[in-house]
Amino acid sequence: MYSIVKSVLAIVVVSIGTRTLRAQFTEFKVEGRPVQIHGFASQGFALSDGNNYLTMKTSAGSFLFTDFGVNISAQLTGKFRVGAQLYDRNIGNLGKWHPELDWASGDYKFNDWLGLRAGKVKTVLGLYNDTQDMEFLHTWAILPQSMYPLDLRSATIAHVGADFYGDISLRRLGSLSYTAYVGFQPTDRYGGWFYGFKEYGINLTRLNGRLEGGDLRWKTPLQGLLAGASYLNQDLHAQATVRSRSYGVSSTHDQTSQFYVQYVRDRLRLDGEYRRNLLDLALFLLDSRSFYGSASYRVSKRLELGTYYSRFYLDLRAGGSGPSSHIFEKVATARLDLTSHWDLKVEGHFMHGYAASNAFRGFYPQDNPQGLKPETNLLVIRTGIQF
Amino acid sequence: MRPLRALFVLAAISMCAAASIETNEIKIIANPDVGASEISRDELNRIFLMTKTSLQGTSHVEPVLETAGRVHKLFLKEYIGRTDVALMTYYRSLVFTGRASIPKAFVSDSELIEYVAKTKGAIGYVSANANTAGVKTLKVK
């Protein structure tokens, strides 16, 4: 059934994309109201030395790096819009072609400083949490994994609930944009947590819970400079079967604080983010820290170059300086915009560390039966279309 | 030191004059239904970045763009502070997170004016010498 749905979705995306590649999008009217359809698809290749990465057999080269999505939306009145997006992916052993409802919401804007969005909503956390799946929006083939891990995407990507949001002008001091939300994190059976725990004989059946949080960003008076902070608090509930017996645990802490700054000037973009996650869930007591700094420059209409340096510390309280305590990563990227709807990226990752075999941060013992090596160099080539 | 200071002042004046000449090449237009007769740079920026959807008594305003050309580039440089590629990337980030639709864009002044004239709340920009019958011009303050 899933392969049929996958095939249908892929055909829809490719056929609409092919027909509308010259147009920016597909728009039609339903009872006089404009309805837009957009979509995207990407295909990647990853090759590594050292370790296999992100559940792919990258040491032999892997094409198991595909995702696509399609959305439909309509502005029903000047203040009210509705829409939904389907998303599917297969990255190594993640996703496994199980499509999901990425978001589906109704959005009512009372005025510029107050709006309400409800349904399944992408979570605003830092600069790129809500857009991390859309490779065409970014310079990078893979976003800094210290901040936006592909395998643990479902931990923060969206919630079922409601957001209040708005934009407040500070006149000469710029403007403030805020988002405050409360909701429920759905279980992702095809993400890194479920995959990682299997190696230990733990079959997760549930990992979800209530969450609340917010984001506040300041568009400063200096053109192009943005600064902000996000906070997310989750009550996680996990259920698993171990040797046919069922167990359940709940977190006492799962708090994420994130601070960020961005400067965009003409062709130059500079980003910096810092995140702290405090997790207390059964055997997991972690004070994780992540940060990265990036720079990208649009050399021409077709070419953009970029680099980032990223650091992830699994548990700062535990100390330790060996490869099991962290992942440090240096990345260089060239992005080619072959057309306005088709991009190609070539990217090199130079990583030190794997942050422990039970960290579920890209490096899994079942994918590396020979043991994890301290260094991993990875080549990623990724192409994508969007309309 | 005095000649250097004079040179600096002259350069600053020249830059301001160049910017003034460039913005004089653009007219901001709106549907006659839009209540405002003038608009601030901040309001224009926020409308085209979709963070502001109302304007001085008009409950819903809709930005309308040109697809390319000198006026389009000048408008983006002067009022939005982003390149065309960066602006489209920004719009797509809103579309693919369910927050907005991509605004309408037209290849010529006449097509844009025709759309603004018939669409309540529409705000766009054209070259200063375009025939803007059927729409109102907003003064940028």
Query: A2-386 falls under which CATH superfamily?
Result: Porin (2.40.160.10)
**Model confidence, pTM:** 0.89
ipTM: 0.90
With residue A108 as reference, give the H or E element that holds it: strand A100-111
Write down the mean pLDDT value for chain A. Answer: 91
Q: Is the pLDDT of residue A37 over 80?
A: yes
What number is the average pLDDT over the span A375-380? 98
Which residue in the set B88, B89, B95 is minimally distant from A38, CB to CB? Answer: B95
List of chain B residues whose C-beta atoms are within 8 Å of the C-beta of residue A266: 83
Q: Is the pLDDT of residue A280 over 70?
A: yes
Residue ranges making up the domain that contains B69: 26-140
Q: Is B24 near chain A, with CB under 8 Å? A: no
CA distances to A128, A286, A292, A308 from A144, in Å: 10, 20, 7, 8
Q: Give me the pLDDT at residue A255, please.
A: 95
CA-nearest residue to A302 within chain B is B85
Cβ contacts below 8 Å, chain A against chain B, sum to: 88
Q: Give me the pLDDT at residue A250, please.
A: 86
Contact assignment for B51 to A223 by CB distance below 8 Å? no
Confidence of residue A23 (pLDDT cuts 50, 70, 90): very low
Q: How many CA atoms lie within 13 A of A74 on its CB side?
A: 10
Q: Is the pLDDT of residue A312 over 60?
A: yes
Check: CB of residue A160 under 8 Å from CB of residue A373: no
Angle (nearest 5°) at CA A59 between A54 and A62: 65
Q: Give me the pLDDT at residue A252, please.
A: 80
Q: Is residue B7 part of a domain?
A: no
| Residue-level length of chain B | 141
Chain B nearest C-alpha distance from A122 (Å): 6
CATH number for the domain spanning B47: value is 3.40.190.10
From CA A42, how far away is CA A64, in angstroms rounded?
Answer: 11
Q: Is the pLDDT of residue A11 over 70?
A: no
Confidence of residue A24 (pLDDT cuts 50, 70, 90): low
Q: Is residue B75 part of a domain?
A: yes
Q: Which two tokens stand for residue A122?
A: 């992408």
Q: Give me the pLDDT at residue A21, please.
A: 42
Q: Is the pLDDT of residue A4 over 60?
A: no
**Start-to-end CA span in chain B (Å):** 36
Q: Which two tokens stand for residue A192?
A: 């890194």
- Residue A84 neighbours by CB distance under 10 Å: 16
Q: Is residue B121 part of a domain?
A: yes
Q: Give me the pLDDT at residue A284, please.
A: 72
Q: Is B86 near chain A, with CB under 8 Å? A: yes
Q: Is the pLDDT of residue B54 over 80?
A: yes
The least confident of A12-21, A141-150, A277-286 is A12-21
Q: Residues A155-174: pLDDT tens digits?
A: 899 999 999 999 999 988 99
Residue with tokens 């994508």: A384
From CA A373, how far away is CA A381, in angstroms rounded?
Answer: 23
Strand partners, A239: A206, A248
Chain A 218-257, CB below 8 Å of chain B: which residues?
Answer: 223-224
Angle (nearest 5°) at CA A143 between A138 and A144: 140
From CA A219, how far away is CA A169, in angstroms rounded?
Answer: 9
Which residue in A111, A117, A99 sits closest to A183, CA to CA? A117
Q: Give me the pLDDT at residue B59, please.
A: 86
Contact assignment for A337 to B99 by CB distance below 8 Å? no
Can you say how many angstroms the Cα of residue A152 is from the centroid of all Cα atoms in its chain?
8
Q: Residues B4-43: pLDDT tens digits?
A: 776 666 655 555 555 454 557 899 999 999 999 999 998 9
DSSP B16-30: HHHHHHHHTTEEEEE
Sheet of B136-140, strand order: B38-39, B136-140, B26-30, B122-127, B62-63
From CA A330, how far away is CA A144, in angstroms rounded?
Answer: 9
CA-nearest residue to A172 within chain B is B42
Which long-range contacts does B39-47 make (Cβ < 8 Å, 24+ apart)?
B39/B123, B39/B138, B39/B139, B39/B140, B39/B141, B40/B140, B40/B141, B41/B79, B41/B140, B41/B141, B42/A169, B42/A171, B42/A175, B44/B79, B44/B123, B44/B140, B45/B79, B45/B80, B45/B81, B46/A112, B46/A167, B46/A169, B46/A175, B47/B123
Confidence of residue A181 (pLDDT cuts 50, 70, 90): very high
Q: What does DSSP assign to residue B93? A: H
Q: Is A386 near chain B, with CB under 8 Å? A: yes
Q: Is residue B11 part of a domain?
A: no
Q: Is the pLDDT of residue A19 over 50?
A: no
Which long-range contacts does B48-53 make (Cβ < 8 Å, 24+ apart)?
B48/B79, B48/B80, B48/B87, B48/B103, B49/B80, B49/B90, B50/B91, B50/B94, B50/B99, B50/B100, B50/B103, B51/A112, B51/A167, B51/A175, B51/A177, B52/A112, B52/A167, B52/A169, B53/A78, B53/A79, B53/A109, B53/A112
List of chain B residues whose C-beta atoms are within 8 Å of the C-beta of residue A24: 102, 105
List of chain B residues whose C-beta atoms are within 8 Å of the C-beta of residue A81: 100-101
| Domain coordinates in residue numbering, chain A | 2-386
Q: Give me the pLDDT at residue B8, please.
A: 62
Check: CB of residue A152 under 8 Å from CB of residue A190: no
Confidence of residue A318 (pLDDT cuts 50, 70, 90): confident
Contact assignment for A167 to B96 by CB distance below 8 Å? no
Total count of domains within chain B? 1
Q: Is residue B118 part of a domain?
A: yes
% of residues, chain B, pLDDT over 90: 72
Which residue in the set A71, A121, A224 is minimally distant from B96, CB to CB? Answer: A71
From CA A334, how far away is CA A307, in angstroms rounded?
Answer: 9
Q: Is the pLDDT of residue A140 over 80?
A: yes
Q: Is A20 near chain B, with CB under 8 Å? A: no
Q: Residues A325-336: pLDDT tens digits?
A: 999 999 999 999
Q: Give me the pLDDT at residue A18, please.
A: 45
A302 — phi, psi (to 5°)? -100, -20
CA-nearest residue to A23 within chain B is B105
Q: Residues A220-265: pLDDT tens digits?
A: 999 899 999 999 999 989 999 999 889 888 888 899 999 999 999 8
Q: Residue A297: CB partners within 8 Å, gap ≥ 6?
A: A267, A268, A269, A304, A305, A306
CA-nearest residue to A303 within chain B is B85
What number is the average pLDDT over the span A36-41? 96
Identity at B64, one-letter amino acid code: V
The least confident of A5-14, A89-98, B124-133 is A5-14
Contact assignment for B102 to A223 by CB distance below 8 Å? no
Q: Is the pLDDT of residue A213 over 90?
A: yes
Contact assignment for B54 to A111 by CB distance below 8 Å? yes
Q: Is the pLDDT of residue A5 over 70?
A: no
Q: Is B51 near chain A, with CB under 8 Å? A: yes
| B22 burial type by CB count under 10 A (0-12 exposed, 13-18 middle, 19+ buried) | middle
What number is the average pLDDT over the span B60-78? 94
List of chain A residues whose C-beta atoms are within 8 Å of the C-beta of residue B95: 25, 36, 38, 71, 73
Q: What does DSSP assign to residue A139? A: S
Q: Residue A287: CB partners within 8 Å, gap ≥ 6?
A: A276, A277, A278, A315, A316, A317
Q: Residue A386: CB partners within 8 Å, gap ≥ 6?
A: A17, A38, A39, A40, A41, A134, A136, A341, B92
Mutate to test the interface with B, among A77, A131, A140 (most CBs of B within 10 A): A131
Contact assignment for B101 to A107 by CB distance below 8 Å? no
